[in-house]
Structure 1
């Protein structure tokens, strides 16, 4: 059994350009030898401490590091491996800091003494030497191969001598879909390298020569690379006319590729950062699994929120309660404040499936800023604070109207004076403890007018008051659409201002307000059209519609927003 250990030091891990070459090389090995065992380690995901230079692994606990981390297993794999592949992009003319950290931590494999070998003094191995084969696979963004020279020399010293080095210039082109045909020959040659190495112990000169060919000519590559950055306040060097057409054809795909890589890095930063900003005080009584799926990156993360705790996980949850599907750039723009979350949802830029209630509290749940998380609309601080806001709309604010409707055709005084006094009391209470609504003001004006009317003509009042009442309340509600829909005042309490000031919140309340205007119009029509000798039918229609409307109002916001969020318009 041939054991192969791959140490991938790219910060991008599986998504890096270097891994494309590693995969191709391993395919070649697998086609030439079946009796193999491959272990690939993506070092950026492992828990590896930096070497402290304490030399405990030499003096106090020979062969054993003071750190109990993932390096212990790597050392065992390293000792047992027949072939060791170092995979790293070129960072500042050397290996990445991730891989260098692993190299530093190989110190326990040597003894502290100095012995002389052919090329000078070195430290002898602690364990019986195995005839390891050492291979370097690397990519870089430069067009010339000499940039790898220092790193190759470094690995020659580390390994005694590298058995093979596969280095790829113009490496950023490997992931551009439009250039797959151009890169295919190179990737096939890397696969041939794997086959030759496992079959004959070395890579032929002719195959090495194939790896020295450029994907595109140097001038074109440099122009493409320079134009792709778009750094604020800076201009790329000018492009010769002879390359301009080719650049224009390929630069869009190249920029898209670079942007996606940047988004991958940003998303990892933002999503992991969300867990650290979790606010337990805002998550009382919340039990939810919130999954975020980035449609363009193919990545998934989820948060398990329960008992005022938030656990972060990579991948998909087995039973998410809420799923957000979004392009990465949309989420980045929302996180950076360039885009309002509710507006983006309303515009169909992302979708939400499952329980939508947690979305209304996202800005509070994931926020370290206590003041911001408590930046909610004013709530009732008076002696009626036990009454839910929606009950104010359906019961308290309508008390004057209930009295008016049931007494207007029998007692003009009671149906006008009592509603006026109650409206004044409601106005005073809301001004002191909550906030005044256009409904409160409209009620006072309406019942004041009705009081004057019944003073001068009680007979016509008794005959037409109910009909005028339906028209009046409809007018009050309809006029509120000019500024703030009436239902907004009663539905916004408990939500952050970022939610209630959004276009989505306003649209929901506009629909509800218009709906109630139509209800009052129906009442008016019923009172006018239905004959007086059918009083029971008239009352059933006039008041029955209120019960139906109340049930609709209770269900509509959640149903409407959930449908909008799911993208099923």
Structure 2
């Protein structure tokens, strides 16, 4: 397959549209190679770098020198490339609802490719092609600066409808094109590019599917969010004066605010850029967000949350150069005041996924959420909810054994074995972990030992020891025991990549492990007294207190880290 990609943007390879075109070609290449075909040859032409003079309208190419233009420049070579290509891709940004001027010149100069006779087959008149163009495929890829492509490409569509026929080409028109150059929005724009890449794969095999077409037609951001960011991006205030880049950056970040997250009270976020000595206040209200510059006397009202960060650091986090959670662990920035905003950052700044609500982009906002280790975004792009782990199913067989077996060794062991047998049935809607399996085996082994005649005074303390060893040894695993279960409340598996979340859970796992490693000592002593039948109840007191500590620690520790 021979591909001719005509880049009509004056920006050349820096063109936003060219990023889409490159992804589309990547998709074609992947599909061709996966089909064990020869990789396509790609000839990329940048119109801005070519010598293409305007058409003179002299019709010499029809009458005096048929098929040959009287102007000697690069156009004759381009026509030859078009004739040799199997696929021609026209890539350009929308300029004043049409094509950029140099590209329009190139299209005008294709006149030698047509015959002068009027075509009876053309409904509104036209000229037949001088060459056999059957079998060639045409793709038109374009971005525009409006919030949507709909209604803005009528001129372009009319042009290519005449050139190729209404169903004779494949078009990808994308609004909000300027966002593809914004690193802070890379997650959302990269998601779109992945669909463009898929479109290329489908095009190579047959045609773009309805599902992919639906994704391509979806806006990157809702209209109000995009237009707020676009207005701020010019860096010019209402007075027409140039604004500080830090203010522009903050306004664009504030534009991502989701009004649905308003907690029935205004949230005041202060961004203190320590390296430039400027502080901006973002007020998140019921009707939207707005940014205030700090007056000389300081803000009159207190903040809800204050982030102290070098602007350079926050920009690096926002563009994905530095992970927000790692930056917080390394004390590259700190947080004062109410930490709940950081915990629920994705809920407040979660507009990065356009038409499909529920996902956030790799913005400064998203970085803040990651740094807190507590995002609330739904699973990205998934139609079905993945099964979750359940710590109660981990604890249930142990609790039953400790209580029932201490009252009656024989019947208590039978009940415990029954629970272990039923455990897989109870877990059919949950995600089992290695520790769930170890628990079933451990409780089963202890129950069988009692049924075989082993003394309870040894078996029950040993069960606590076994339980403690499971917790303690998991501290040295890649993922500590508690993280497998607490991740459900912190964005699932994504939480496992957060160092603050992992350190918090490693500490808690170690604390629980130590508790149950020393529990066998007093359990053995109690088992030799008249209170032996109550050992299960007695040993539930400290875990209850430990549970209170756990609930406090998993909130306190991230805040402690955030304060620096």
Q: Which has the larger radius of gyration?
A: 1
Q: Give the TM-score normalised by the residue count of structure 2.
A: 0.46
Relative to its length, the structure with more helix (as a share) is 1
